[in-house]
């Protein structure tokens, strides 16, 4: 049975789920959510996810939201991307929790403020503060990747897919790969994996569609 992923191309959280399913060899298809016109807040969509967010995964009778939960499900179902031991699994979870608190959430809001709000509504001081928080997070990740090709263990895991989700997007949010050489090489390793695609090639919806 083909899983369905409610998503849209600009969503880094959706990209994490889409990339995980692709690399794990799961059959899936995207269901585009017209997020910028309010579909995620519609009564119909709230029946699917009361939180009004993407992604949502439908796999048979299983309905899941929140990208970290979906990544865990994909890994558990396929037996891939989940590390080789219980200790590695805990380390994967540690980095995923860190990502959701320190990296992806801050990138997501900063990228939105800088690119998807009209210029006159962009809060300069908030953006500057967020970028300072992100610089500290990039330092943590870059130092860690100086010691290893992958975040946990000797192969790609859902920890990598969680942390990389927003870093492939072209819109500016205060991240320049050239400033972070170990992150840069890690992103190249991920992009070289069989099946990898850019988020705008993997899911429907991009800023170009709305211009």
- Alpha helix (H) residue ranges in the chain: 12-24, 43-48, 67-78, 86-98, 104-115, 124-145, 158-164, 181-191, 199-202
Q: In what order do the strands lie in the sheet with 28-32?
A: 28-32, 3-7, 56-59, 62-65
Query: Does 184 lie in the same domain as 104?
Result: yes
State how far Cα 210 lies from the chain centre. 21
Rounded to whole angstroms, what are the CA distances from 185 to 1, 25, 105, 147? 36, 24, 23, 12
Q: What is the pLDDT of residue 1?
A: 85
Query: Does 121 lie in the same domain as 91?
Result: yes
Query: Does 127 lie in the same domain as 184?
Result: yes
Provide the residue range defining the domain that includes 106. 86-191
Q: How far apart, in whole angstroms, are the C-alpha atoms of residue 57 and residue 63?
A: 6
Do 84 and 75 form a contact (C-beta atoms < 8 A)?
Answer: no
Q: How far apart, in whole angstroms, are the C-alpha atoms of residue 135 and residue 103?
A: 10
Q: What is the count of structural domains for the chain?
A: 2
Query: Does 32 lie in the same domain as 91?
Result: no
Query: Does 142 lie in the same domain as 52?
Result: no
Query: Does 137 lie in the same domain as 58?
Result: no
Query: Does 36 lie in the same domain as 60?
Result: yes
Query: Does 23 lie in the same domain as 72?
Result: yes
Q: Tell me, what CATH number does 175's domain have?
A: 1.20.1050.10
Q: What is the pLDDT of residue 110?
A: 98
Q: How far apart, in whole angstroms, are the C-alpha atoms of residue 189 and residue 174?
A: 22
Q: Tell me, what CATH number does 22's domain have?
A: 3.40.30.10
Nearest to 207 by CA among 56, 14, 36, 31: 36
In the chain (211 residues long), the average pLDDT of successive 10-residue segments reads 97 98 98 97 97 98 98 98 97 98 98 96 98 98 98 98 98 97 98 98 92 68
pTM of the predicted model as reported, rounded to 2 decimal places: 0.97
Q: What is the pLDDT of residue 210?
A: 79
Query: Does 97 lie in the same domain as 185?
Result: yes
- List 58's β-bridge partners, or say none: 4, 63
Query: Does 128 lie in the same domain as 67?
Result: no
Query: Does 183 lie in the same domain as 132?
Result: yes
Query: Does 43 lie in the same domain as 66?
Result: yes
């Amino acid at each position: 049975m083909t899983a369905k992923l409610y998503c849209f191309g600009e969503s880094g959280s959706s990209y994490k789920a889409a990339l995980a399913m692709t690399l794990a060899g799961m059959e899936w298809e995207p269901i585009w959510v017209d997020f910028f016109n309010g579909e995620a807040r519609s009564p119909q969509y709230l029946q699917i996810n009361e939180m009004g967010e993407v992604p949502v995964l439908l796999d048979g009778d299983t309905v899941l939201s929140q990208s970290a939960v979906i990544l865990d499900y994909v890994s558990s179902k396929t037996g891939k991307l989940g590390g080789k031991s219980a200790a590695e699994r805990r380390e994967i979870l540690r980095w995923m929790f860190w990502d959701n608190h320190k990296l992806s959430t801050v990138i997501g809001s900063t990228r939105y403020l800088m690119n998807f709000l009209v210029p006159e509504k962009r809060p300069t001081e908030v953006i500057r503060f967020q970028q300072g928080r992100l610089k500290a997070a990039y330092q943590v990740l870059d130092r860690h990747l100086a010691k290893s090709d992958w975040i946990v263990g000797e192969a790609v895991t859902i920890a990598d897919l969680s942390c990389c989700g927003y870093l492939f997007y072209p819109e500016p949010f205060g991240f320049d790969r050239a400033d972070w050489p170990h992150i840069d090489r890690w992103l190249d390793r991920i992009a070289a994996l069989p099946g990898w695609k850019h988020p705008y090639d993997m899911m429907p919806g991009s800023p170009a569609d709305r211009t």
